[in-house]
Amino acid sequence: MLDRITPPEFKSIDHVEILHAKEDRLDNEIPVYSIDSGSQELVKIEFIFKAGMYFQASPLLAVSTSSMMENGTVNYTAEQISEHLDFYGSHYETGVGQDYSSIALYSLNKHLANSIYFAEDIIKNANFPQHEFETFLSNKKQKHLVNSKKVAVLARRKFSELIFGEKHPYGIVAQLEDYDKIKREHLLEFYAKHYNSANCTIVVSGKLPADVLKLLNDHFGKENWGSSEIINDVLVPYSTTSEKKHFVFKEDAIQSAIRIGRPMFSKNHPDYFKFQVLNTVFGGYFGSRLMANIREDKGYTYGIGSGLSPLVHGGYFGISTEVGVDVTTKCLEEIYKELKLMREELIPEEELQLVKNYITGIFLRSVDGPFSLADKFKGIWEFGLGYDYFDNYLKAVKTVTAQELKDLANKYLKEEDMIELVVGKKS
């Protein structure tokens, strides 16, 4: 008879077999990383460029360039490109982050030869039509105005400035007047400088057709394209605020946005793995202490969480929530109370083991499928790390002790090191 009462025995996981990306080079030396996996006749080709917000000379430049690349080329209008890709059941998407930008093409294998032609045209021949640019800016400006009424958005913008400094690439926040300063010529310059073969890396994943490398070489590898300027990283020091308490009053607010955090480190720091365990206990999942106290027990918010955000040139730790203005001060008190408990008390073994199992389970789910494997690979490639990173991560999660986590809390979670921001009202 099937036992529906006794849960299955938990098995410790020390090592996970992860399919490694295979590295090749096109004729012009563009690196191509391939993950051949999956059962569906589908492929994803992602073109990655050093064109994130870290490299922009002024606000809006990176995101505007990335977004506008799909709005027309020398050869086709945006509508024509969309119609052709729709005909083949393909689609593409652009994205920009703090350090990198990307253009991803999704295609059925049988139509890849036709679809990749349009990806090539978008990447090599984007021309940023003036009328499309004006429409794009108008929409972005209107969205900026709408979002500027939201305490959560105002807090996110201000918190970046406080952590990194308002002049740092990670801390620069677009102001309303910036939408009137940016011109089409600025996008063309940024595009020419950053979107070229010298700064391109390709990650291809899925059930790969036999001719995928040939197709890539035919369209992107026969010769250098774009300017040949190589973008080198220049380390810009943070200008973190020296003041620890910040309050932005908003007259009509019915909620206050709370952000608490500090500058931290990236994935290559020796404390990164163990701090991830500490953060998960504190505020990194639905069963965390912050959620149990401030949501479940006190009912101050629908959601609260914390996280360590690694960036190529550093990182930061942050606590985030929105609460009613009448409980803003009480919520702050409870957050600092939970931080104090992390510093002063050992995490009970049962709670720690639950979190370790949770982290391991999340990791296993994150390597299921070719596109997920590609994302995992990018997560180490961007930081110059190897696949041993994952084994080291699992080992650290398994072996970290409650005492080590308490020591980390006393090292990194001191109240006097935290930058506090409240946008809204305080009761």
Q: What is the pLDDT of residues 127-152, one digit of tens each?
A: 999 999 999 999 999 999 999 999 99
Q: What confidence tier does 54 reach under pLDDT thresholds 50, 70, 90?
A: very high
* pTM for this prediction: 0.93
**How high is the pLDDT of residue 10?**
61
Average pLDDT over residues 302-314: 96
Q: What confidence tier does 388 reach under pLDDT thresholds 50, 70, 90?
A: very high
Least confident interval from 174-183, 193-202, 231-240, 346-355: 231-240
Nearest to 102 by CA among 84, 123, 81, 117: 123
In order, the DSSP letters of 210-277 are TTHHHHHIIIIISS--S--PPPPP--------S--EEEEE-TT-SEEEEEEEEE---TTSTTHHHHHH
Q: What confidence tier does 411 reach under pLDDT thresholds 50, 70, 90?
A: very high
Average pLDDT, the chain: 95
pLDDT over 70 at 371, yes or no: yes
pLDDT over 80 at 12, yes or no: no
Average pLDDT over residues 348-371: 96
pLDDT in tens, 80-93: 999 999 999 999 99
Average pLDDT over residues 273-281: 98
pLDDT over 80 at 155, yes or no: yes
Q: What confidence tier does 233 reach under pLDDT thresholds 50, 70, 90?
A: confident
Q: What confidence tier does 6 reach under pLDDT thresholds 50, 70, 90?
A: confident
Strand arrangement of the beta sheet that strand 91-96 belongs to: 22-25, 31-36, 200-206, 42-49, 101-108, 91-96
pLDDT in tens, 168-181: 999 999 999 999 99
Query: For domain 245-424, which architecture applies?
Result: 2-Layer Sandwich (3.30)
DSSP one-letter code for 77: B
**CATH number of the domain at 22-221, please?**
3.30.830.10
Instruction: Give the start-end residues of each E strand in 97-199.
Output: 101-108
**CATH 3.30.830.10 domain range(s) in the chain:** 22-221, 245-424
Average pLDDT over residues 191-197: 96
**How high is the pLDDT of residue 8?**
67
pLDDT over 80 at 291, yes or no: yes
Q: Where are the alpha helices (DSSP H) in 345-419?
A: 349-365, 370-381, 388-399, 402-412
pLDDT over 70 at 2, yes or no: no
